[in-house]
Structures are given as C-alpha cells and as structure tokens.
Structure 1
C-alpha cells in the first residue's frame, strides 16, 4: 500500500496488540530484521506490508512489548516505553481520539493491572483501576497483592464515558460437573463497567455467581489443560470461563467466553437473554459451516429485535488442542425468533498463506465492506474487500517469535510534546549527514536544518527517520532541526554537535 506520507495529517491505526502479551526481543525474535535508527534508540520489527487497498491510507498500531504505531507502508510512527501491555486499542473520548491499553503483571493467560488512556500527545490523561482489596480479589500470586485487578483482555469504551473490562478472581467451587474435586478452585470470570473519569463501578457480573444460567459444563477446555488449570488448589485454579471481549448495546452486554466457545447476551439485570454455543448451538440451531470455538473479538455488526449479525475471529485452536483448525474471520446471522437458525454470511481466510493461530486475534469491519483481521499468536494481519478478496497482508515476525492480540485501523493525529531527535556526523565522502526523527508525529511535511543561526537546507520528510546530506561541516558545528507543517510545525530539536565520523 503506497501513498504520500508527507501530506496527510490523519492516518489510521491498526493494532497488533491487546496482546496475550506481546514480548520484546528474544533470541528467536532476532531472526526477524529490526528497524534501527541513527537519531533514536528505538528498535522495532520491520512491518512487511504487501498489497493495495481502496480504503483510505492508514496506520497500524501494534505491540511487541511496546505500544507501537506503524503506517501501512511499514514505517514506524510511534513507539512507547517497554512494558507488559494488552487490550491496546484506539477509541474516541469526549470527541477526541485516544489510545487505551492495559498495563500490569501477567500470569498464564490473565493479568492484574490498570487501563491507561493516552491523548494525541501520548500523555496519560486517565488511569482506570479496579481496587483488588475493595472487591475482595484473591489471585494465584497470593499473598502478593496488587493495587488494581483489571484483567488483560478488554478496554472497550461505551458512548456514556464508561469502559468495559474483564477481571478474574480465584474462587473455591464445586468442580464435580467437569470431573474435578468437589472442593476445587476456579478463576471466576467477571466483567465490569467503570466510569472512566471517576473509577466508579456501574456494573459487575460474575460467571460463577450466575452458574445456574452459565454452568461450568459449557466449558470445552479440560481440567489441567495449559492455561486452564487442574482446579485442585488456588495456585492452579481451573480457567473458567476466560472472557476475552465485552461490548455494550443499549443497556445489555455481549460477552465472549473462549473456553466455553460461547457468546452470551446479558440483560441489564445480569440475566442471560440468550446463549450461542459455537459447538452445540446453545439457544440456537447451527447450520452448515457455522461452528466456531475459542473465538475472539465478538461484536454485533447489526442488531434488531428479530436478528443479529455477529463478526468474530475464529481461531479454533488452543495451546492444548494444537494448531489443526484453519483460522478464519466469520460473519454469522443469528435469528433471535422463529427458527433460531444460525447462518454463515461471510468467511475470510488467506488461501495463499493460511493461518492456524492458537490464541488471540481480532475482527474489525472497515468502510466499503472491508474487514481487517489480526491473528494473535501468529504475527500476521490481513485486509479483505467487500467480496472477501484479500487486498493486504502484513507480517511483523516469524511464527512463534512474536504475538499480539487485536488489530485496528483508526483516525489518528499524533502531536508529541517532546522535541524532534537529531544526530549529525561527517561521512567518508566529505559530507555531513543529518538524521532526524520525531517519535509520534504524523504530519510533518519537511525539515529545516540550521547550522548555528544559518538555514542550510529544507528537506522533505521521508519516513520515521529522514536522512539529509549537507556539505562537510566542521566537527564542532552545531545543528538544529525544525519541523515544517502539521500540528507541530515550528517545533525545534535541541542543539547537537556534528560528530567526527558516522
């Protein structure tokens, strides 16, 4: 996908994050080439994007232990600090685009942390927390305690200034229905709706407290499976039910349970309005090619009293089943009345490069009927047109070396509060090379280069780091670079001296 990066103020984010968690470089990661720069210490995997799209030019937001934004031609736009991140997604708050993500301590498929919300300057403007002590949480790390117990899986905003999050609480439970001990232990799955600005809890729902409507027998994951736990003690609780997405429609909640292979629609009072099981149908009748399991990122694409249309990422594999099933994007029409039939409207996969992802992933509908799909544990995203034809595929690592959670395209203007970074040195062919970058800036058009007070040249911006060649300058000369165009126009770098050798 190509475009003139220099003249666009608005880009689109795509996310390879919301991870399960994306890790920073390991020996395996090193097999995939990294982008490195002279003016910045940032190192990030090359984002190899192939194909063309009729969808407006876009940026890709991803993570590899860092929250990261790429342009859709593979150029880095912004990389944040290293950490444990998840549930990273761009959203709107008070009419402005923001980035929300989870950060905290990671366990085996879960975590305990908070949600940070960053503005266009990449400053944290809100921090959403869930008080562990106040909510009587017990964790697998007991007696270690945490200040906030939000789980890694969701950070979805509502139209009312609230956020939907998941949480897990180690709870004693009868596991005899799934072949476990009567006095066993589970990871109870909870969902919360929290006011973003006040941290007030507006809704709380527990799977175990509603076990009459959501029985443990719905679970597909066997006791003792990787990540599911044996349930014999609170150090190794059964991973029930592993909620991985929540969305609010009106006053009701749509939730996805990975290990139950189920989608539940909850009424405002917490009762289950309907249940769709991806293996057995639940309240509905599955038809040809509508089976799914271990799914992620379930959302309504349309909704009425008679029927709903669901989009989901169907990675029907786990750590304990292996990678046998083809990973696809699915659009399902569900009749809420009458026949209660489930029919397949669309299924998307890359026939040339099929994916068999074990975990994570996302499904985002774009304009013109396009769909963006991320494959989680497999470091690849794809874009499909309205006919299901793949128009873009992108990789950012080899299999089993990188992972992510979701991927998004979204309008974004970066206006960093930092200064541009610059480095200058003398080359072997008697020139001076000036390297300039500005982490997070999206709409710089060109760079002015000053030596002392003299304007030496103006050069068009060319990707994350622009290389500008001048005549040879003395090694004690000072260089300052100034951004031209966009919201940061006129911002200058600090003054640096020309190095003796590049």
Structure 2
C-alpha cells in the first residue's frame, strides 16, 4: 500500500496512523488494516484475501475486563476494527449503498497481534462498520442494522418495502450478553429523512432513512448519536431512551450561526465546554435549495440558553475536497485535530486553531494520500507499541560477489536495528553484521559473507535482542 506524504511538519502528535483501505471502484493493492508511520512506510499490515471484504473503524482503544468485584481493571491497549462486506453498487444491490451485509463482526487484538475477542450483534441485526467503542465497564458499544419490512407508500416508497433500522447495542465483553439497545425506528420519524423513500427501488426495496454512523458516550448517561440521512445529531438519555435535544435536521432544537450548519455529517463527539465535533461532508446529492459546501472538520459551541449553535473551529483541505460519505475529526492529546477525509483518499493533521474555507494550508501539519481511488472510512493517529508474537522475516540473495539480506518484522514498533548471522551450515552461524540501522519496513543489508545460510535478530534502541528469525538459505 503506497501512501504519498505531501506534508510532514514539526508539531504533529505522537504515534503512527491507522487506516483501513478499501475502494468502491478499482482497488489498488489489498484491502485490510494498515498502520503507517509518518513517512508513509507501513508498520503493520493485515491484508484481507478478497477485495469484497473490508475493514473499518481501525484504531487503538483500551480494553477493560469486568472482574466482577475483584477490583478495577487498569485496562490494556488493543487494536479494534470491523470486518465484513458492504453493499457497494454495482456488485451489491440488495441493500442501500454502504450498508453492512450479513456475516460481519468486530475484532479485538492485543499488542502482540493476537485475537482477544470477536464480538457479534444480537437479535438478527448485522454488525455495522460505523462504530465500535470499548467502555471502562468491560462492554462494547456499537451500531448494528437490519432491514425491517414496512409499507413505504406513506413515504413515497414501495408497499412491500423495508426500512433499514439502525440500533445502538451494548454487549458485555466477558459473557457476550446484550445489555442495552436503542432503535432508531422506535424514536425517529422516517418522514424527516433527507433521502427519498423512492431510492429503495435501487436497493431491493430497502430504504436507508436514518443511517446512524456514530455513537459517543458522555457524562450523565448521555449518548450523542449522528444520523447521516437525517442531517441530525441527537443527545439521548441512555436510561430512558428519550431524545434530550436535536441539532440539525428538519426538527432542530438549535438555530445556526454562520458556517455552523452541516449535511450528511459523520463522527459526532462530545467536547469540553458545551462543544461537539464532527466531520461535515457538506456536499453531494443535496435537495434543491441546499447550498453545497466543502467537506471539513467542524467544532460547534452550543448555547443552551438561546438554543444556538456557533462554529468555533473549522478544518478545510487544500485542494478543496468534496466527500459524499464517511470521514472523521479526531481530537489528539496535544490539541491537534486529525481528519480522515472519508470518500476522498486523504488524511491530515492540523494545529488546534484550524483554518477557514479557502485557507486549507493554514495550520496544516501533516497530509497524506492513499493510492488511486482507495479510501478509508476513518483515519486515526494513535500511540501504539506492537510486540509481535511471531518472529521477524529474513530473505537473502546473491548480488555480485556479496550477499544482500532482507529483514522485516510486520508490526514491530520497537525494532531499531538488525544483526545478521551467516554460516556454511544452519547450525553453525556467527555474527557478520553486528548493527544495521532499520531503514523502513524492510531493511536491505549487504555483507561479503557468502553464507549460504542467514538469520537476523531484531534489536531495540539499547541493542537488546527482541526476537530471532528462522534460518534462510541464500538464493542466486
């Protein structure tokens, strides 16, 4: 997966970058879960066997196990992601575009890249690619969806149709038991959708009226839920299921200041000081009269006394981007914002102050682009220490009168150098290169020793051996 880095300035947050590349068009390379460093080199890649399979929402989280009275779990860093197939026209037309097909799941991997948990949805819903969040309670909050048969003629759709219901589910990670659920169909009016029910004719009669795409848990038992196709964000009482207030959409409880309105939004998050953040897709397939706007990261301040939303920070790209779907705005520990541009192949980092439309280079610290039409539903920068349970890889071949040894270790974040051993017999090897600095994902090391047997040892910053590869024979 060749990533082109177009900007990399001082001041970025620590940690590598997490994306899950796929394409709705012509995939370049393989789909899968990819960690890159800031230079664009891969740190870890878990490819999938078919471009019909996708990963999404790939990121670092903290995994807590509920100890049932044995004290608080301090938690451990893990990798999490959704895996499954999406209804992507023209290959799939049985569901609305972007909806998850049956058979998906969520994975939790530890720092050694071992599977800890596989999580599934309940009562006939399909695990949804849009959100998978671990809580300190030892649970997972996620979105799930399924078509619910419905007469859509009151909304202008087919009589024997269905509505794609989205449901918030919370599952105990120890037992797999469903602890909580909240259905969009039970609480939202499909008539408020910005997507016509007549669109169901192109998706086997299924209408994607709501399209929930994010959940965030806030103080006081509140959930912040984004419904893309309603152009609305809802603050919900988790206990009662009641909608406390709605921002945007046809029944907004808030009016909007300049540049504060949004369309087809993603990734709504609580922020300190009565603020929320989101990715405003802002464009494409807008009803008559709605002004198209560039996609951008957006932070709103909510004035509850006057019920008014004001844009306090925006994050635009140069060149301007118009992303019909997907995207996220991540708040980093140093105050920066990391933007995944969704259906555009970029991801970027900005200083906290942001910028304005037409000034996309202002406060830009980092920018990179996936190849071809590849995209990632979200993109994150997270701190991560990977210590693979499996050994490094080695290969060797003749080059003139020398030998070139290739060393790599998929997922290792602590390898700083390589040591090379060689000998005439697999059981009789000695050190021929004591310290070769790591140079990217795969390091090529030249030695005059003919071998023909070689082995590499991964060294950390102190020169200590982390792990040893298998012995390989040199090829000509």
TM-score band, normalised by shorter chain: 0.7 to 0.9
Q: Which runs of 4+ in 1 moved over 6 A?
A: 319-323
**Aligned 1:71-220 pairs, distance under 5 A:** 71-82=37-48, 83-94=53-64, 95-107=75-87, 108-111=97-100, 112=102, 113-131=104-122, 135-137=123-125, 149-181=126-158, 184-210=161-187, 214-220=188-194
Give me the whole-angstrom Cα distance separating, in 1, the residues matched to 2:183 and 2:468: 52
The answer to whether structure 1 residue 333 and structure 2 residue 333 are counterparts is: no
- Report the TM-score when normalising by structure 1: 0.80
1:240, distance to aligned residue in structure 2 (A): 2.0
C-alpha change, 1:395 and 1:321, in structure 2 (3 Å) is farther
Give matches, 1:319-330, under 5 Å: 324-330=292-298
Compared with structure 1, are the counterparts of its residues 89 and 56 closer, same or farther at alpha carbon in structure 2 (3 Å cutoff)? closer
Answer yes or no: is the 8 Å Cα contact 2:131–2:214 preserved in 1: yes
Separation in structure 1 between the aligned mates of residue 467 and residue 185 of structure 2, nearest angstrom: 55
1:60 corresponds to which of 17, 20, 27 = 17
Deviation (angstroms), 1:177: 4.8
Provide the C-alpha distance between the structure 2 equivalents of 1:117 and 1:275, rounded to a whole number of angstroms: 33
Does the 8 Å contact 1:432/1:472 carry over to 2? yes
Larger RCO, structures 1/2 (Cα 8 Å, 6+ apart): 1
Deviates further, 152-161 or 216-225 = 216-225
1:364–1:136: structure 2 CA closer, same or farther, 3 Å change rule?
closer
C-alpha distance in 2, partners of 1:297/1:125? 26
Q: How big is the shift at 1:53?
A: 3.2
1:368 CA displacement? 3.4
Q: Map Cα deviations across residues 120-153 of structure 1 (whole Å, 9 max, x no partner).
A: 111110111124xxx145xxxxxxxxxxx21111
Counterpart in the other structure of 1:446: 417
Conserved? CA contact 1:332–1:346, under 8 Å: yes
Kindly state the Cα deviation for residue 426 of structure 1 after the two structures are TM-superposed. Answer: 0.9
Q: Once the two structures are superposed, what CA deviation does each residue of 1:427-455 show, in whole Å capped at 9, x if it has no partner?
A: 13x22111100000001121110013210
Contact 2:44 2:412 in 1 (8 A): yes
Distance 2:236 2:154 in 1: 24
SS in 2 for 1:152: strand
Contact map agreement 2:13 2:332 (CA 8 A) in 1: no
SS at match of 2:319: coil
| Larger strand share, 1 or 2 | 2
- For residues 325-351 of structure 1, the C-alpha deviation after alignment (integer angstroms, 9 at most, x for no partner) is 311111001122x2111111011102x
Kindly report which structure 2 residues correspond to 1:11-26, keeping only aligned pairs within 5 A, or say none: none
- 1:359 equivalent in alignment to 2:316: no
Q: Does 1:259 align with 2:210?
A: no
The CA RMSD over aligned residues, in Å, is 2.2
Q: CA deviation at 1:320?
A: 7.6
Aligned to 1:223: 197
* Length, aligned pairs only: 423
Q: Which residue of 2 aligns with 1:51?
A: 8
User: What whole-Å deviation, never above 9, does each CA across 1:394-448 have from its counterpart, x for those lacking one?
Assistant: 11123xx1111111111100111111111111113x2211110000000112111
Gaps of 5+ in 2: 22-30, 65-74, 88-96, 355-362, 424-428
Q: Is 1:302 the equivalent of 2:259?
A: no
Q: TM-score, normalised by structure 2?
A: 0.84
The residue correspondences of 1:401-480 to structure 2 (distance < 5 A) are: 401-428=373-400, 430-452=401-423, 453-457=429-433, 458-473=435-450, 477-480=452-455
Gap runs ≥5 in structure 1? 1-43, 138-148
